[in-house]
Copies of this chain bind each other. A is one copy, B any other.
Amino acid sequence: MAIGIMGPGLGARPQDLSCAFELGRLVAQNGWVLLTGGREMGVMEAASKGAKSADGLTIGILPGDSTIGCSDFVDVAIVTGMGSARNNINVLSSDVVIACGMGAGTVSEIALAIKANKPVILVNATDSAIAFFQSLVPSNITIATNAQEAINQAKLLVNSLS
């Protein structure tokens, strides 16, 4: 199983970073592969660092055409050279998508995940984000209030997939 953790880069807040670290750690502890956007910043890096703290395997799907800017906590870098279009690869390659915090890239990933019929868990989302995505398509979206709760929901989803 591969769990994608998506979230803002430069715009990540402290609570997004700590939540992402915890999510990454729990993904690894469950024996899942962690998949992120791979860059050395924000939720991507924090989640990868968390997964490595628990000896997990981390995959980073990079937007650029080289590994420049790749997080040191990424084990395998996939170099797409296709900018934000790689966001679709992030979600297609994840069995469950967890969005931690919110930014324009994150919104595109949530939307592409919905389009691809992937289950999405929102954590650290604002009220207006929750209201919007639940009005868009209630069935794919689950809301979690912290990392542990998000992982518990991911576990239920993973079990229903296998």
Residues of A within 8 A of B (CB): 2, 33, 57, 59, 61, 65-66, 76-89, 92-93, 102-108, 110-112, 114-116, 126, 128-129, 131-132, 135-137
Contact = CB atoms under 8 A, between A and B. Distances in A.
A112 B76 CA distance: 21
A92 B79 contact: yes
B78 A81 contact: no
How many monomers of this chain does the complex have? 4
A104 to B, nearest CB: 4
A65 B116 contact: yes
Contact of A81 (B76, B92, B126): B92
Given A65-B92, A128-B128, A128-B131, A115 B84 contact: yes
Contacts of A76: 2, 33, 57, 59, 76
Contacts of A103: 136
Contacts of A136: 102-104, 107
A83 B65 contact: yes
A113 to B, nearest CB: 9
Given A81-B85, A129-B132, 16 more contacts: A33-B76, A65-B83, A66-B92, A78-B78, A78-B93, A81-B82, A81-B83, A82-B83, A82-B85, A84-B115, A85-B87, A104-B112, A105-B111, A106-B111, A107-B111, A132-B132
Given A104-B115, A116-B65, A89 B81 contact: yes
A137 B137 CA distance: 22
A124 B150 CA distance: 33
